[in-house]
């Protein structure tokens, strides 16, 4: 017989909170009912002023001492689109095969974690447990679009401030080996549009000083830098992806017709920068590369994160000690890394809150945003055990 927690997980997967038209209403109704089942306080905070229902669902399990800083368990409800013809089954049917592998968009990123929080709390409440600190669960929209209209807005509101957060847990990645991975920081995502202006003219002539020539020079410089970083990453046994600067050309724009040399072209890059890099210096390097490419070459930020805050992993830090004490109960080895992508945790760290990215999945290939995303039933249930061990340690951290 299927565990009740797995049934709830599959039900959550079937709610199509997929962009560009996520069913947030369906997710909110599902979560409201969940909170009622568990006897958790539940309220909503709307973070948008337009017709899109960007609503934060907040659940609260009260502790004995509301004056103490609380614990935040954050997760996002939205998921990325799928290439339906590349999936072996319906990406929103939550099909479970004979091996116990559950297929569906969001199985790893990150509907599993939201349900694991709730089912660990169900188990703890059933045992009559209560802790010193309040535990808040937040289910936020728009993370997959960068979080700018979801968590980034919410974390600046009075409603969030009133939660009196001491530390937070958010998403991580699966570990393909037999360990868990905790993420204490993130790279800064810079989405940049480089613009090149040059002489236009007829496509039959040798036009000098064209936008294309200068843009190609800049692109070559950026891709050469990319190759240097790639080599350093591959040659270092201690370097994880989160420790490297990645540079990827994602879009080229411009031109009016096949026979017109354009007066302007642009190239868009996704650059991810680790917290060890001086961001001011790096931006200065980008400026120099533009100047070297030629007059009329410039850049603008589409998205720019300039936070290099990391969460302490010092053995004497009370929050980190409590988290790792919980992991020790599981007898599972823990590794630590800088997260290679970007999550809502970056907004928390930027505001000074300790935040640990943690998705308790091991022996699992990383399939977030990939075709045939899946999570095995056994690994999912083990994740509930992980939070069952960790939450009491965090929620009973003495005042400090």
**CATH at residue 214:** 3.30.70.360
| 158 and 293 co-located in one domain | no
| 146 and 212 co-located in one domain | no
d(CA 249, CA 227): 13
Q: Single out the residue in 304, 320, 343 at which a domain terminates.
A: 304
> Residue 213 annotated as binding?
no
| 216 and 343 co-located in one domain | no
| Confidence at 239, pLDDT banded by 50, 70, 90 | confident
How crowded is residue 28: how many other Cβ atoms within 10 Å of its Cβ?
A: 21
d(CA 134, CA 13): 28
The number of domains in the chain is: 2
pLDDT for res 52: 74
pLDDT for res 184: 97
Convert the pLDDT of each residue in 207-237 to its tens digit.
Answer: 999 999 999 999 999 999 999 999 999 998 7
pLDDT for res 306: 85
Whether 53 shows a pLDDT value over 80: the answer reads no
149 occurs within a structural domain? yes
> Residue 127 annotated as binding?
no
Catalytic residue, chosen from 23, 78, 344, 382, is: 78
Percentage, residues of the chain above pLDDT 70: 100
Cis peptide before 84 (omega within 30 of 0): no
**Residue 361: which CATH number?**
3.40.630.10
| 33 and 180 co-located in one domain | yes
Convert the pLDDT of each residue in 166-215 to its tens digit.
Answer: 999 999 999 999 999 999 999 999 999 999 999 999 999 999 999 999 99
Convert the pLDDT of each residue in 333-388 to its tens digit.
Answer: 999 999 988 899 999 999 999 999 999 999 999 999 999 999 999 999 999 999 99
Cis peptide before 167 (omega within 30 of 0): no
Read off the tokens for 400. Answer: 């400090």
296 occurs within a structural domain? yes
pLDDT for res 93: 98
Q: State mean pLDDT over 52-62.
A: 93
| 266 and 333 co-located in one domain | no
Closest by CA position to 147, among listed 261, 254, 19: 19
400 occurs within a structural domain? no
Domain with 83 in it: 4-186+310-395
25 occurs within a structural domain? yes
| 238 and 107 co-located in one domain | no
Catalytic residue, chosen from 23, 134, 143, 337, is: 143
Whether 238 shows a pLDDT value over 90: the answer reads no
Let me know if 143 is a catalytic residue: yes
| 15 and 120 co-located in one domain | yes
Whether 50 shows a pLDDT value over 80: the answer reads no
Q: State mean pLDDT over 83-101.
A: 97
| 209 and 267 co-located in one domain | yes
Judge contact between 393 and 323, C-beta under 8 A: yes
| 12 and 128 co-located in one domain | yes
| 152 and 253 co-located in one domain | no
| 112 and 173 co-located in one domain | yes
| 330 and 340 co-located in one domain | yes
pLDDT for res 263: 98
> Residue 369 annotated as binding?
yes
Q: Which residues does residue 192 pair with via DSSP β-bridges, in sequence order?
A: 269, 301
| Confidence at 12, pLDDT banded by 50, 70, 90 | very high
């Amino acid at each position: 017989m299927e565990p009740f927690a797995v049934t709830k997980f599959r039900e959550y997967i079937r709610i199509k909170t997929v962009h560009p038209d996520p069913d947030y209403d369906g997710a909110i109704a599902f979560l409201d009912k969940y909170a009622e089942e568990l006897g958790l306080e539940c309220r909503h905070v709307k973070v948008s002023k337009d017709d899109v229902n960007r609503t934060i669902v907040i659940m609260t399990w009260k502790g004995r001492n509301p004056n103490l800083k609380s614990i935040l368990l954050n997760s996002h409800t939205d998921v990325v689109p799928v290439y339906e013809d590349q999936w072996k089954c319906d990406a929103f049917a939550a099909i479970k095969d004979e091996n116990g592998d559950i297929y569906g968009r969001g199985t790893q990123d990150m509907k599993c974690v939201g349900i694991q929080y709730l089912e660990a709390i169900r188990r703890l409440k059933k045992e009559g447990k209560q802790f010193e600190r309040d535990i808040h669960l937040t289910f936020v929209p728009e993370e997959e679009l960068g979080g700018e209209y979801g968590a980034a807005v919410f974390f600046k509101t009075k409603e969030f401030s009133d939660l009196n957060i001491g530390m937070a847990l958010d998403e991580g990645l699966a570990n393909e080996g037999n360990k868990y991975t905790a993420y204490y920081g993130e790279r800064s995502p810079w989405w940049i549009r480089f613009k090149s202006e040059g002489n236009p003219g007829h496509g039959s002539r040798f036009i000098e000083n064209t936008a294309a020539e200068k843009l190609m020079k800049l692109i070559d410089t950026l891709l050469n830098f990319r190759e240097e970083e790639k080599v350093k990453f591959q040659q270092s046994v201690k370097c994880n992806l989160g420790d490297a600067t990645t540079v990827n050309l994602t879009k080229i724009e411009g031109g009016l017709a096949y026979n017109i040399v354009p007066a302007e072209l642009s190239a868009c890059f996704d650059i991810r920068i680790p917290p060890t890099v001086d961001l001011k210096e790096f931006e200065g390097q980008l400026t120099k590369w533009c100047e070297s490419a030629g007059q009329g070459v410039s850049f603008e930020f589409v998205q720019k994160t300039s936070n290099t805050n990391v969460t302490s992993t010092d053995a004497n830090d009370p929050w980190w000690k409590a988290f790792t004490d919980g992991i020790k109960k599981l007898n599972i080895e823990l590794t630590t890394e800088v997260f290679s992508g970007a999550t809502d945790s970056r907004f928390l760290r930027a505001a000074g809150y300790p935040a640990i990215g943690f998705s308790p999945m091991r022996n699992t290939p990383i399939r977030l945003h990939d075709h045939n995303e899946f999570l095995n039933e056994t690994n999912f249930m083990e994740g509930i055990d992980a939070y069952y061990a960790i939450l009491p340690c965090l929620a009973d951290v003495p005042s400090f």
